[in-house]
Chain A
Amino acid sequence: MAYYNIFIAPGLPRHLHRRALRAGPSAVGSRGISQVELLTRAGFQSVVETDLTEDFLITARAWFEGREARESELRTSFGDSWFEDRQADSRAMIPAIEEGLLRRSLFVAKAM
């Protein structure tokens, strides 16, 4: 099994954890233990995590800046609320990644 996962940085004080929860994608707060621990508990072996948070930031910025650059066309195609919702999500998420509140990794594990 191999998967990419966005998660809240471990060990944050409560107020920063709450902020990360609000800034992240909808499923980011759906677990209370680390992915490595979750996989190990589920019986997976050879669990390897590769941190890709820098790439995550680059991609998040690219979505935001690309939409900004085509604002008029996108508002016409998809409506104002679509555009504003997406940009608002990015405006919350990008600083949270920059500040180390949100991380993204590749997890690779083998079933027993």
Chain B
Amino acid sequence: MTGKRQEEILKRFTDRYSLGASSALNAVETEAIGAVVGANGYTTVAQAEQLLEVLDLNPSTWLLDIGAGRGWPGLYLSERSECCAVVTDIPRPAIAAAHARAEELGLAGRCHSVLASGSALPFRSASFDAVVHTDTL
């Protein structure tokens, strides 16, 4: 992918994540995804549960969610398993929303939002026990 194309995609997603919430969109998200979780893709609540089944997450594990947007599904996985989580993405409004959502859910003590690209993650090797991403690559 070219640099120009990447910039276009970043702008597109930044614009999308800059939009506020609405009850109508929340209703659509509930029908499509199964709950209002800040999702705008195709990973349903049932599929987030599937991730819980295959990843051995618990309070002593660290999870990295790459391209998490507003924190879906990383924050949900942390909420369900009590694992620590780092959610990353490149649009600033998405990461700001993920941070706000972690606070709202009472997860700020164990969930962190980082503005970072999946192609240049600012973490040391072997920092995480599990990695997820949903339709990011």
How distant is the Cα of A102 from the Cα of B96 in the complex, in angstroms? 32
> Are the CB atoms of A2 and B42 closer together than 8 Å?
no
CB neighbours of A67 from chain B (8 A):
28
Residues of B within 8 A of A (CB): 1, 9, 12, 19-20, 22-25, 27-29, 31-33, 42-44, 47, 50-51, 54-55, 130-137
Taking a contact as CB atoms under 8 Å apart, the answer to whether A66 and B31 are in contact is: yes
Residue numbers of A with Cβ under 8 A of B are 1-6, 25-27, 30-31, 52, 55-56, 59-60, 62-63, 65-67, 69-70, 73-74, 77-78, 82, 104, 106, 108
Which residues does chain A contribute within 8 Å of B31, judged by CB atoms?
62, 65-66
- Known A-B contacts A6-B135, A66-B27, A74-B25; A55 and B32 likewise in contact (beta carbons under 8 Å): no
A11 to chain B, nearest CB (A): 20
CA distance A104 to B43 in the complex (A): 10
Check if A77 sits within 8 Å of B135, measured CB to CB.
no
Report the bound CA distance from A17 to B133 in whole Å: 24
Residues of B within 8 A of A1 (CB): 130-132
- Alpha-carbon gap, A104 to B135, bound state (A): 9
Most-contacted residue by chain A among B24, B25, B47, B55 (CB, 10 A): B24
Query: Which B residues are in CB contact (< 8 Å) with A62?
Result: 28, 31-32
- How far apart are B69's CB and chain A's nearest CB, in angstroms? 13
Tell me the bound Cα distance from A5 to B44 in angstroms: 13
CB distance from B129 to the nearest CB of A (A): 10
B43: which A residues are within 8 A, CB to CB?
A: 4
Bound together, the chains give a CA A55 to CA B46 distance in angstroms of 10
- Nearest chain A CB to B43's CB is how many angstroms away? 6
Contact B28 A70 (CB under 8 A): yes
